[in-house]
Each structure stands twice: as structure tokens, then as C-alpha cells.
């Protein structure tokens, strides 16, 4: 009778799991197509390192250890689940026939059951006693988390008791070794008591597992099912490249994302995979400084909208059949009988204000344990606001107009772009005879800030002088150079960005440029990672790596000591976007006498200066200024110099240091200026 009942329960449960799987895949299909199937080996490696190895979770050791104990424990317990299912389906089913392998399984099962229980208690303690901020969601979220942890506790406790009772029933395999279960053998020596406990715990264990699997699609813990696929289909590099919009695509009527069907299927899968852990929000510079942007909520609300809208789009429901409270409003609309189709993703689910507070620093993406890609989604939503609705902060309108008219975000004439070269020997490609261009080592891409900003023009001249001292043959584009397009792209004006990019590509290709060096990480990232989509394939080097190379190969020699303390601020677009952390530090360490100290948040955990994603051209009207937060951290190191390697970072850190350090003791310098200062000293003494 037991086996007949279990067959019915098992088939019903598998049917529910299959139905929910089919339903969710159907929801993903409302999204746009995207090829995430290439390079299988690299994707499997990601799964092994990130999903199975829990590498991102381990960036936060305590929480990582808790989750790893539970996750790895369940991987080990899969064999126990299979055994329980076989025992329910077939008389005498089990895995004892595995011999010595069974001994390994039974030992590991007992030990991991204990580890999982410890992890569950620890997780509940962090949520309800120490009250970790990022884990304090709304009441339904807390209830769901508690229910899931409770079910996990029931699953492992019932397994421990079931296995402990096996020996007393007389049906235990001779290969079984259960160190935890052995502690209960004395109390379970009576065969009838053991049999009763075994049967009751077996049913509790297997029914809880099957119920757990059927509940997951309706829980925030859906990531238990989707996290490994999401990691597999995740990006194979840092998310440093925005997808190109093909404005010539036939039938294309919408630009950017105005609702969930405009996202790709992978972006919708991101929503299903969010673990609600809050790691993204805990590192977001906007959120940390008191603004409304919450990267976690961007993804959660996208999922809520998908679960509201997708059933209508795939024909499961019509607006008339929606029952009271079935539409998820996430607190933005408390009305219960809602016509979902009349609502919009931006406004009813996601605040436009939040979208414009993003600095695109990528810290959220860096920390996400399941490789969710928040920043591209935010930029896609901005694209719709800008190009479809013409709704964007008033302060960025001048930047758009200047880029259209002057090819720079600032109100400077394009004819003044090369004025910084006055009094130098720097030449342009245009004024270089064609036969001499083949002998040029590198094109120096100066960038808008390097061409127009009075403070950063000093950095431009310093780097040019270093190249001259090292004997590097270089040229600039001068007035032929246009804004690289990064600011326009990140602010959602893809059409403007593409027009700038295409003009630059035409110029670079006309001169047959192969190698570019730039002092701006935004120019560096765009030229290196995005120009290829527009026919511009170049070797691009940031000036920190270029200077470091000149120091290492001896072209820049003997350095005069600098008896000062310096801390280096990592640019998001150089560091997290392109994983370049060591070159600027190596440069500084090459200067004798210089003491390099790190801020608390550094390298991949570095904190944004607050200028990226168009924030350079917008005003912070809510909370603390991001650059003040970062400058205070820099000053806390006791450094005399805050070193930067980005024009935006230099501006923001300069302003922040002046506001927090009114006596002017601490100064902000680019690493190129510091190296030049030391090299000049050495040359003067030679």
C-alpha cells in the first residue's frame, strides 16, 4: 500500500514541477532573443567556480559560509533524496548495493545534515537577532524566508532521524556508516519503535521535499532552481559592454525597454533568479548615501511585473479573470482589482528617479552571487525614457545639445579641442605626412576632459611629456577627435552615442590606427569594448598600464624619492569594468620613498567617485554626496595625496577633498603627474 500511495504522490508532484517549469519557460519567451549559448567550456567553468564553488558568496565570509554549508549540503544529500524516492517506488529500493561508495555517502550525509542545521540556525539568527540590514525585507519576504529555512530544517532533521532508525529496523545496509545516527541507536533498539520512527520520518522527509520543490516557483527562493542556469548563461566577462541598437532593423519601433517584453529572456531570468540577499544594494553608492535607488528592487520589480504581465501575454489569463490581489503591485499601487495591462514597468513598478541615480559603477554586478546584470537593465530602461518618451533630468539636456553641436558634453567649441598643445611639440595625425604615419607608435586619445578641463589638461600635458621623455612616437587627432560616446550611451541616448562613435571610427580607420592610449577610463572602456560593434577594432591601453610599461622596460629611468603618503582611488571603469588594478599601484610603488596606503574599500570592492553614468552632469539632490563619502574614506587613511587615474574621479575627489579638508593639506593628483614629478627631479639632478 505504501508504494501505491507514494506512486500517486510522486507522479502528482512531478506533474506539478513539470507544469511550473513549462509555465516559467513560457514567461521567459515573452522576452527578446539573445544568444547566450556560445563557449560551452567557459560557461561550465563559471558554473563550477561561481555556482558550485560559491566564489562570489565567499567575498562575504560569514554569509558565504552559511550559504555554502546549506548549498553543498543539499548537493551531498541528493543521493539521500534519490534513495528515499527509490524506497518509495520499489520494495527493497535503496543504494546499499554501491558498497564502499555507500559508506562515503552515509558518512557525508550525516555530517552535512548537521552543517545544514547549523547554517539554518545561523541564518535565522542573522535575520532576526543581529538583524543584518540587507536581510530586512518586508513582512511577506520575511515570512517566505522563514518558511524556506523551516522546511530545510525539517528536511535534514527528518533525514537524520530516519537514518538513525534504519539500524533498529534490521534493513540497514552493512555498508552504512552513520556517525550521527549512531548516537541514537540505544534509544532506537526496539524494532517496533525504530520501524515507526523510520516510516513517519521517511514520509515527512520525502513529502516535505516534494512540497518544497512545488512551492519554490511561487517563492523568492525560486533561485534554488534557476541560479545554476542563470550563472551558466551569464556574461563571460565583466559587464563592460552595452548592446548595440540596430536602428536600421526593419520593423523596429521601440528603442530601449518600456516593459518586460522589451527585455531579453536572460534579463527576465535574472528577475527569476534574484535571491533577495541585498548584496547589490549593500554596495550601491547611491543607496549607501541615502538615495532611493535600490538595485535589488530594480530586479525584484522586474520579476513582479513579469509575473503580472506574462500570464496575460501567453494567454493564461485575461484582465477580466484576474482575481482580487493577484496582481503584484510592490506597494506602488494598493488597489486590489487591477487591470495589469494598464500599468507600466517604469512608474508603477520602478521609480524613474531611481534609474537616474545610478552611477553605472557595476558594484552591484560584481557582488551578485548569481551573476545578475543590473546595470545593462538600468541603461535599457533609460534608453526608453530618453528616446521614446523624452523624459530625463533637465540638467543633462545641455550635455546632449553640446555633444550634438560641439562633440563634447561641455559648452566648448570643437575648434578649441587641441588648444592644450600650445607651447608643446605635440602634433596631430592630420599634420603628419602620410609616409610618416606608419612609424607612429601610438595614437594618444586625449578625450573631452583632457582637452578642455583646466585641471585635467595638466594631466594630459604630463602624460605627453612622459611619452616624449621615453622616446615614444605619438600623435593626437586634435579637432578631428569627438566625444567617445560613453556619456550619451550610459544616459540612454543611444542614437546620439552611435553618431559620435561612427564619426570617430571613420576617422580612426581612415588613418589606419591600430594602437591607442588614453588617460580616461571611460574612453578606454568604450574604445576597447564597444567600438568593435561599429567596425573599430583597436588595441587600447590605459595610460597607467602604458606608463608602468615604460618604467619596467627602462624607458623612464631613475626616480627621485618622494617622502609622502598616498592612497589610490580605483576608477570603476578601469577596475571593475576591465579588471585593471595593479598597474597604477605598481607605478606608485616605483617611486622611492612613497608610502602607498589602501582605503578600506579598494580594488574590486572600491567605492565610486559618483560621476559615472552621466552623474557628472547631474546634481545630487537627495542624501549625502557620493564624492563626499569617498573623499572622507580617502582622508581617513592619513594620506597626503589622493591619487587618481581618471578625469571624472579627479574632479569629484578634488571637490570632495576640498569640502572635507578645508586647510588644503591633502591634494589630489593623477598618477602620471606624480611619476613625471619624480622623473623631472631625477633629470634635474643628472
Q: pLDDT tens-digit profile of 365-424?
A: 999 999 999 999 999 999 999 999 999 999 999 999 999 999 999 999 999 999 999 999
- For residues 518 and 426, the answer to whether their CB atoms sit within 8 Å is no
For residue range 613-664, what is the model confidence (pLDDT) as tens digits?
A: 999 999 898 999 999 999 999 999 999 999 999 999 999 999 999 998 877 7
* Nine cell digits for residue 401: 545639445
**SS3 string of 341-407?**
HHCCHHHHHECHHHHCCCCCCCHHHHHCCCCCCHHHHHHHHHHHHHHHCCCCCHHHHHHHHHHHHHC
299 pLDDT exceeds 90? yes
Question: Do residues 516 and 443 lie in contact, with contact meaning Cβ atoms separated by under 8 Å?
Answer: yes
For residue 304, which of 333, 264, 337 has the smallest C-alpha distance?
Answer: 333
d(CA 191, CA 202): 16
Q: Is 219 left (phi over 0), alpha (psi -120 to 50) or beta?
A: beta
Angle 486-646-383 from CA coordinates, rounded to 5°: 20
Per-residue CA distances from 609 to 449, 614, 629 (Å): 16, 12, 8
Query: What pLDDT band is residue 686 in, cutting at 50, 70 and 90?
Result: low
What 3-state class would DSSP assign to 136?
coil
- End-to-end, the C-alpha distance of the chain in Å comes to 97
Please answer whether residues 561 and 601 qualify as being in contact, where contact means their C-beta atoms are separated by less than 8 angstroms. Answer: no
Identify the residue with better confidence: 636 or 220: 636
The DSSP annotation for 7-47 comes to HHHHHHHHHHHHHHHHHHHHHHTTSBP------HHHHHHHI
Question: Which grid cell sits at 619?
Answer: 546634481
Q: What is the pLDDT of residue 575?
A: 96
Distance in angstroms (rounded) separating the CA atoms of residues 244 and 257: 13
Helix axes 582-589, 671-685, angle to 10 degrees: 30
DSSP string computed for 620-655: --SSS-HHHHHHHHHHTTT-SEEEESSHHHHHHHHH
Evaluate if residue 332 carries a pLDDT over 50. Answer: no
Q: What values do phi and psi take at 104, rounded to 5?
A: -60, -45
What DSSP designation does 663 have? T
Say what the alpha-carbon torsion angle 225, 229, 230, 235 is, to the nearest 10 degrees. 170
d(CA 143, CA 164): 31
Mean pLDDT of 79-105: 87
Q: What is the pTM of this model?
A: 0.89
Asked if 630 contacts 610 with a C-beta cutoff of 8 angstroms, the reply is yes
Which residue has 588648444 as its cell numbers? 419
pLDDT tens string 418-453: 999 999 999 999 999 988 998 999 999 999 999 999
**155/164 Cα distance (integer angstroms):** 14
DSSP state of 149: H
Distance CA 653, CA 634 (A): 9
Residue 356 and residue 392 in contact, taking contact as beta carbons nearer than 8 Å:
yes
CB atoms within 10 A of CB 37: 9
Whether the per-residue pLDDT at 259 is higher than 90: the answer is: yes
Q: How many whole angstroms separate alpha carbon 338 and alpha carbon 355?
A: 25
> Treating both helix axes as pointing N-terminal to C-terminal, what angle do 265-273 and 2-28 enclose, rounded to 10 degrees?
130
Integer Cα distance of 543 and 583 in angstroms: 9
pLDDT of res. 674: 95
Span 269-289, mean pLDDT?
95
pLDDT digits (tens, 9 = 90+) for 9-56: 999 999 999 999 999 999 999 999 999 999 999 999 999 999 999 999
Give the model's pLDDT for residue 338.
Answer: 52
C-alpha cell at 636: 581617513
Average pLDDT (529-545) is 97
134-172 per-residue burial string, b: 16 or more CB within 10 A, e: under 16? bbebeeeeeebbeebbebbbbbbbbbbbbbbbbbbbeeb
pLDDT at 333 over 70: no
Nearest Cα neighbor of 208 from 245, 168, 153, 163 is: 153
Give the gyration radius of the chain's Cα atoms: 30
If you average pLDDT over residues 353-358, what whole number do you get? 97
- Per residue in 565-592, pLDDT tens? 999 999 999 999 999 999 999 999 999 9
Cell of 455: 585641471
How many CB atoms sit inside 10 A of residue 192's CB?
9
Confidence at residue 685, expressed as pLDDT on a 0 to 100 scale: 56
pLDDT of residue 328: 46
Share of the chain above pLDDT 90, in %: 71
pLDDT at residue 645, as a whole number: 98
* Alpha helical stretches, state H, 29-169: 40-46, 61-89, 100-128, 139-169
Measured CA to CA, the distance from residue 309 to residue 75 in angstroms comes to 34
Distances (CA, A) of 238 to 371, 521, 580: 10, 15, 12
Distances (CA, A) of 548 to 457, 588, 681: 21, 9, 18
Instruction: Locate the DSSP E strands across 441-553.
Output: 442-445, 474-475, 515-518, 539-542
Q: What is the pLDDT of residue 644?
A: 98
The answer on pLDDT for 484 being more than 80 is yes
Instruction: State the burial class of residue 64 (Cβ atoms within 10 Å of its Cβ: 0-12, 13-18, 19+).
Output: middle
Counted residue by residue, the chain has a size of 686
Contacts of 202 (CB under 8 A, 6+ apart): 84, 87, 88, 158, 162
Amino acid at each position: 500500500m505504501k508504494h501505491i500511495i507514494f506512486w500517486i504522490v510522486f507522479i502528482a508532484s512531478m506533474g506539478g514541477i513539470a507544469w511550473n517549469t513549462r509555465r516559467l519557460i513560457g514567461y521567459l519567451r515573452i522576452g527578446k532573443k539573445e544568444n547566450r549559448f556560445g563557449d560551452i567550456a567557459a560557461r561550465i567553468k563559471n558554473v563550477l567556480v561561481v555556482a558550485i564553488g560559491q566564489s562570489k558568496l565567499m567575498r562575504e565570509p560569514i554569509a558565504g559560509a552559511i550559504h555554502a554549508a546549506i548549498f553543498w549540503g543539499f548537493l551531498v544529500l541528493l543521493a539521500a533524496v534519490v534513495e528515499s524516492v527509490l524506497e518509495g517506488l520499489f520494495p527493497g529500493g535503496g543504494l546499499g548495493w554501491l558498497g564502499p561508495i555507500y559508506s562515503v555517502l552515509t558518512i557525508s550525509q550525516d555530517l552535512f545534515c548537521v552543517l545544514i542545521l547549523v547554517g539554518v540556525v545561523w541564518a535565522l539568527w542573522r535575520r532576526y537577532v543581529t538583524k543584518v540590514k540587507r536581510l530586512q525585507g518586508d513582512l511577506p519576504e520575511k515570512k517566505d524566508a522563514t518558511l524556506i529555512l523551516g522546511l530545510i530544517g525539517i528536511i535534514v532533521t527528518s533525514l537524520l532521524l530516519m537514518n538513525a532508525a534504519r539500524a533498529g529496523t534490521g534493513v540497514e545496509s552493512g555498508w552504512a556508516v552513520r556517525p550521527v545516527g549512531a548516537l541514537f541507536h540505544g534509544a532506537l533498539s526496539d524494532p517496533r519503535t525504530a520501524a515507526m520512527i523510520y516510516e513517519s520520518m521517511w514520509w515527512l522527509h520525502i513529502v516535505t521535499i516534494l512540497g518544497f520543490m512545488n512551492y519554490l516557483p511561487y517563492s523568492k527562493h525560486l533561485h534554488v532552481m534557476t541560479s545554476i542556469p542563470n550563472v551558466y548563461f551569464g556574461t563571460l566577462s565583466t559587464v563592460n559592454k552595452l548592446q548595440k541598437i540596430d536602428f536600421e532593423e526593419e520593423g523596429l519601433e521601440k528603442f530601449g525597454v518600456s516593459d518586460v517584453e522589451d527585455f531579453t529572456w536572460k534579463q527576465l531570468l535574472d528577475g527569476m533568479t534574484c535571491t533577495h540577499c541585498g548584496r547589490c544594494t549593500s554596495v550601491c553608492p547611491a543607496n549607501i548615501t541615502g538615495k532611493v535607488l535600490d538595485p535589488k528592487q530594480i530586479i525584484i520589480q522586474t520579476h513582479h511585473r513579469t509575473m503580472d504581465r506574462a500570464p496575460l501575454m501567453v494567454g493564461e489569463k485575461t484582465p477580466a479573470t484576474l482575481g482580487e490581489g493577484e496582481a503584484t503591485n510592490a506597494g506602488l499601487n494598493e488597489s486590489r482589482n487591477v487591470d495589469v495591462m494598464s500599468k507600466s514597468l517604469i512608474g508603477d513598478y520602478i521609480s524613474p528617479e531611481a534609474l537616474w541615480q545610478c552611477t553605472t559603477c557595476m558594484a552591484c554586478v560584481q557582488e551578485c552571487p548569481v551573476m545578475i546584470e543590473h546595470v545593462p537593465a538600468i541603461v535599457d530602461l533609460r534608453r526608453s525614457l530618453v528616446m521614446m518618451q523624452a523624459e530625463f533630468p533637465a540638467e543633462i539636456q545641455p550635455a546632449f545639445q553640446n555633444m550634438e553641436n560641439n562633440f563634447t558634453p561641455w559648452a566648448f567649441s570643437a575648434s578649441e579641442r587641441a588648444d592644450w598643445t600650445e607651447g608643446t611639440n605635440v602634433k596631430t595625425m592630420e599634420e603628419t605626412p602620410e609616409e610618416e604615419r606608419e612609424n607612429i607608435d601610438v595614437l594618444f586619445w586625449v578625450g573631452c576632459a583632457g582637452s578642455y578641463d583646466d585641471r585635467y589638461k595638466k594631466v594630459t600635458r604630463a602624460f605627453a611629456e612622459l611619452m616624449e621623455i621615453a622616446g615614444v612616437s605619438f600623435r593626437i587627432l586634435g579637432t578631428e577627435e569627438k566625444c567617445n560616446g560613453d556619456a550619451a550611451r550610459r544616459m540612454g541616448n543611444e542614437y546620439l552615442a552611435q553618431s559620435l562613435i561612427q564619426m570617430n571610427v571613420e576617422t580612426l580607420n581612415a588613418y589606419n590606427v591600430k594602437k591607442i592610449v588614453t588617460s580616461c577610463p571611460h574612453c578606454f572602456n568604450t574604445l576597447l569594448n564597444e567600438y568593435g560593434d561599429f567596425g573599430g577594432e583597436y588595441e587600447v591601453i590605459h595610460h597607467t598600464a602604458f606608463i608602468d610599461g615604460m618604467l619596467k622596460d627602462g624607458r623612464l629611468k631613475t626616480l627621485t624619492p618622494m617622502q609622502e603618503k598616498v592612497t589610490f582611488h580605483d576608477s570603476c571603469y578601469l577596475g571593475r569594468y576591465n579588471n585593471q588594478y595593479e598597474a597604477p599601484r605598481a607605478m606608485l610603488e616605483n617611486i622611492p620613498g612613497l608610502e602607498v596606503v589602501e582605503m578600506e574599500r579598494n580594488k574590486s570592492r572600491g567605492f565610486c567617485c559618483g560621476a559615472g553614468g552621466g552623474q557628472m552632469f547631474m546634481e545630487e539632490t537627495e542624501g549625502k554626496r557620493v564624492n563626499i563619502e569617498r573623499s572622507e574614506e580617502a582622508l581617513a587613511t592619513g594620506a597626503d595625496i589622493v591619487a587618481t587615474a581618471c578625469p571624472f574621479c579627479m574632479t569629484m575627489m578634488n571637490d570632495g577633498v576640498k569640502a572635507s579638508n578645508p586647510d588644503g593639506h591633502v591634494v589630489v593628483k593623477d598618477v602620471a603627474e606624480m611619476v613625471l614629478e619624480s622623473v623631472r627631479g631625477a633629470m634635474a639632478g643628472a
